[in-house]
């Protein structure tokens, strides 16, 4: 946790950012290498906080301990990934780091476990003393705030956690982030905030400053099936679509495209063809099916209410890249005239699978808007972007761009 009040008589460090990556096998060595590379971009400024994204083969506590020491005591929010990247390109089972240095920001980290059983309790813990923290920041003219939220990617309660967090922080609080991944294994995902780390948990970083952080989203997906009704569902598990086992609907959809699905091999197809939820005649949300049950049900990354109207979605590379650029343009516009010091990108694993070896084009699409600034992010099991003017806050197969004002 850090508060660094400033006044006109003090020499303030303008907000700057740096990114770095490593593919070393040793977790501590990889963290040190990535942080050292990121610090080189800070021009000698001391980082206040940072974000660390790493493949599931790495040990999160070891990564964060080494990163904190290498960064001179900076606080780190971290999670496991389904792929991570910087402006230099994507890696798998590597480490990506994004550092922020500034005397103009206040920040506070929180961690809470038990997300699957008690998302409300997790949100309450993440917002402990939030009102007092906000009042202290406002006293120093830090009137804009953003919460970066990282959650377990397999708990199935990400949307409930987000909704509860939004209620606790207030209707105008921006909440942005992603659900942790495990390289498509769907076995276990982890998050960390400083020395606290674990599965079935969420971690948050509340950031206060004078300027708004810019947020933008885009997906570029289109319906690839007729509308269907969710005739049986409970929580994040969909049992039936139009009265048929949900997986059988997908199996038939795939067969028409010359693909034979089994429960064991269906993962990539499900992630590349997610469920879209309608609001009247418009698809407003995408939901990622993650695993297939023995009864033909689909466990999804977030809740899908019974009687919802849904369809199967598909994405074409060019449309998805255009959507990523649109997300970056929206984020730049939401900086309200400020220049970006750096960019965080939370991008769905489904988009990574669809784009494949062309994923670097997604990174390039975002950088074409912001220019030569540091960028880092990871492939998620769910994307978070709750901010003014947008319906809902939990997304799938979506690019979420978060621009840090300089």
* Extents of the domains making up the chain: 16-218+321-405, 222-315
Q: What is the mean pLDDT of the chain?
A: 93
| 318 vs 2, higher pLDDT | 318
105 to 18, 262, 373: CA distances (angstroms): 16, 50, 19
Is there a contact between 93 and 183 (Cβ–Cβ < 8 Å)? Answer: yes
CA-CA-CA-CA dihedral for 178, 184, 189, 194, to nearest 10: -60
The answer to whether the pTM exceeds 0.85 is yes
pLDDT on residue 10:
41
If one counts every other C-beta atom within 10 angstroms of the C-beta of residue 218, the result is 24
- Ranked by mean pLDDT, the top range of 163-172, 199-208, 308-317, 394-403 is 199-208
Cα radius of gyration (the chain): 20
How would residue 4 be classed by pLDDT, with cut points 50, 70 and 90?
very low
Q: Which of 220, 221, 218 is nearest to 313 (CA)?
A: 221
| Three-state DSSP state, 27 | helix
At 43-58, the pLDDT tens digits run 999 999 999 999 999 9
At 70-105, the pLDDT tens digits run 999 999 999 999 999 999 999 999 999 999 999 999
At 275-299, the pLDDT tens digits run 999 988 888 888 889 899 999 999 9
pLDDT at 6 over 70: no
How would residue 12 be classed by pLDDT, with cut points 50, 70 and 90?
low
pLDDT on residue 391:
60
For 343, the token pair is 């960019």
| Three-state DSSP state, 396 | coil
CA-CA-CA-CA dihedral for 158, 96, 54, 153, to nearest 10: 10
pLDDT on residue 29:
98
pLDDT at 8 over 70: no
How would residue 315 be classed by pLDDT, with cut points 50, 70 and 90?
confident
């Amino acid at each position: 946790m850090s508060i660094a009040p400033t006044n006109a008589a003090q020499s303030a460090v303008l907000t700057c950012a740096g990114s770095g990556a490593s593919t070393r096998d040793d977790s501590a060595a990889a963290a040190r290498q990535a942080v050292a590379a990121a610090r080189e971009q800070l021009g000698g400024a001391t980082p206040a906080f940072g974000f660390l994204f790493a493949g599931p083969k790495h040990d999160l506590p070891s990564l964060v301990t080494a990163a904190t020491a290498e960064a001179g005591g900076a606080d780190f929010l971290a999670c496991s990934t389904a792929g991570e990247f910087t402006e230099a390109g994507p890696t798998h089972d590597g480490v990506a780091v994004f550092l922020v240095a500034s005397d103009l920001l206040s920040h506070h980290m929180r961690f809470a476990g038990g997300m699957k059983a008690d998302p409300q309790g997790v949100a309450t813990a993440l917002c402990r003393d939030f009102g007092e923290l906000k009042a202290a920041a406002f006293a120093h003219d830090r009137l804009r705030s953003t919460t970066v939220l990282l959650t377990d990617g397999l708990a199935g309660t990400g949307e409930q956690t987000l909704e509860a967090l939004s209620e606790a922080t207030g209707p105008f609080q921006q909440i942005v982030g992603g659900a942790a991944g495990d390289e498509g294994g769907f076995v276990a995902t982890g998050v960390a905030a400083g020395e606290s780390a674990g599965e079935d948990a969420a971690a948050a970083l509340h950031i206060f400053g004078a300027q708004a952080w810019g947020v933008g989203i885009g997906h570029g997906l289109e319906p690839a099936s007729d509308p269907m009704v969710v005739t049986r569902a409970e929580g994040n598990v969909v049992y039936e679509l139009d009265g048929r086992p949900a997986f059988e609907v997908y199996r038939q959809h795939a067969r028409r495209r010359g693909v034979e699905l089994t429960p064991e091999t269906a993962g990539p197809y499900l992630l590349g063809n997610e469920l879209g939820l309608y609001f009247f005649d418009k698809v407003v949300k995408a939901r990622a099916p993650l695993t297939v049950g023995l009864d033909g049900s689909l466990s999804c990354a977030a809740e899908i209410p019974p009687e919802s109207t849904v369809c199967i979605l598909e994405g074409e590379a060019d449309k998805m890249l255009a959507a990523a650029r649109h997300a970056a343009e929206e984020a730049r516009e939401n900086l309200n005239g400020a220049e970006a010091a750096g960019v965080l990108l939370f991008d769905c694993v489904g988009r990574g699978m669809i784009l494949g070896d062309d994923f670097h084009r997604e990174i390039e699409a975002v950088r074409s808007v912001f220019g030569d600034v540091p960028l880092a992010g990871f492939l998620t099991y769910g994307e978070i972007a709750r901010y003014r003017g947008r319906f809902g806050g939990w997304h799938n197969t979506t690019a979420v761009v978060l621009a840090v004002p300089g």
